[in-house]
Amino acid sequence: MGEVVQRLFRLATNRALSLTLSLVALVIGMGLFVLPSSAQTSNDDDDPQYRLKRNSAQDHSAPIEHGGKQLQGGITRIGVPDDAGATTPLMGDVRQAFPSIESKQPPLKGQAQFDGPTETPPVLVPGRAVNAPPEMYRGWLEKAHPQFSLQASTMAENRLVVIHDKYDNTERTLSSLGLRFVSMDKQEFDGYDLAGAQVVVVDCGPKNLSPVAMSRIRDFVARGGYLFTTDWMLDKLDQFIFPGYIAWSGAMNRQNMYDAAIVGQEPVLFRHAVTNASWKMDIHCHLIRVLNKQAVRILAVSRSLVADDPDGQGILAVVFPFERGYVMHMTAHFDRSQAMMGYGLPDPAPVIGISLRQAIAINFVVAGLSGERL
């Protein structure tokens, strides 16, 4: 008898436990069971991506002297969390990348909406990549150069010449802007007539221009043309045909992303730009050494690039006059990025959407096509 009672008791206990577990599973499935707050969310204050950082006396992130008013207090917002439970996208639009920064430039009546650089805080960490479709570039051009943008699609294509190579893709950026141009490789350029050209862009790459081509480019600038070169063309072209102005220091960068700050007063080249942003570089970019400090004007520098530069300058972009024309060189590429898929832009600048390096380069191209002196 006692054995029967024990069996009945064990059976009842097992059924009760099974019923209890079923009820708990039902409550959790309906969302009625709430975990403690410490288990639901992480502490964003422990993640530097979501913090506000104040520059200390030992911090080297203070703004570069660029002629504008220095920011007060040293506060820089370097990121904000997404909505709770949301997944941070790999790429978003520029407002998602820089949600706390708004333009301080009021629209100007009867002319460009943005006639100079917008003051932005120094960059402490790189922003996230955004999707930058052609509409973003055309929108930037319409704000910075409204009159020019109306005529861009009808201008003669031989006014803008692109000599392309492996490591840059200037054609894609210019096409996104809606500009017409002639494109060729470095070997084809030998037989091309520059009589109608106003701007020549030479892409970074391993190929060399012939001595005849180099001489023709030098003569083009001397007659009043605008020459824009990127990265390796510093020592493959510029230092040969414009000796004594700029040269390769022999050093290369060691990382892909740097802080950038504009330098000096350049109302033409800094139109609808920003004072501080990120600056994308491929590994093994050739760093700039300025030889003629009277003629060469530095456009942008990087504090973090100083560590890679034997001259301790961290120069990102320069411009200089040569006889009747101008030469601009940039330690970076004109295209968004060959390392990203689609329209991915790794270094969008706050306020303007496109990158700072692209804004300066586009302003140079527009100035050359418009006959605007620098």
Q: Does 279 reside within a domain?
A: yes
Could you give the number of structural domains in the chain? 1
Closest CA to 254 of 290, 287, 206: 287
Residue 244 lies in a domain: yes
Q: What is the CATH number of the domain that holds 258?
A: 3.40.50.880
The secondary structure element, H or E, covering residue 249 is strand 246-252
Q: Is 293 inside a domain boundary?
A: yes
Q: Which domain holds residue 185?
A: 130-370
Instruction: Return the pLDDT at 319.
Output: 98
**Looking at the domain assignment, is residue 317 inside a domain?**
yes
Whether 1 is covered by a domain: the verdict is no
* Residue ranges of the chain whose pLDDT lies below 70: 1-114, 338-340
- 347 found inside a domain: yes
Instruction: Indicate the pairing of strand 286-290 with strand 246-252.
Output: antiparallel
- With a CB cutoff of 8 Å and minimum separation 6, the contacts of 90 are 128, 129
Indicate the pTM of the whole model: 0.72
As given in the structure block, the two tokens for residue 92 are 């978003």
- Strands 257-262 and 276-280: what pairing? antiparallel
The greatest distance separating any two alpha carbons of the chain, rounded to the nearest whole angstrom, comes to 117
Q: State the pLDDT at residue 342.
A: 80
pLDDT of residue 111: 52
Tell me whether residue 72 is in a domain. no
On whether residue 108 sits in a domain, the answer given is no
Residue 233 makes CB contacts below 8 A (sequence gap 6+) with: 202, 203, 204, 329
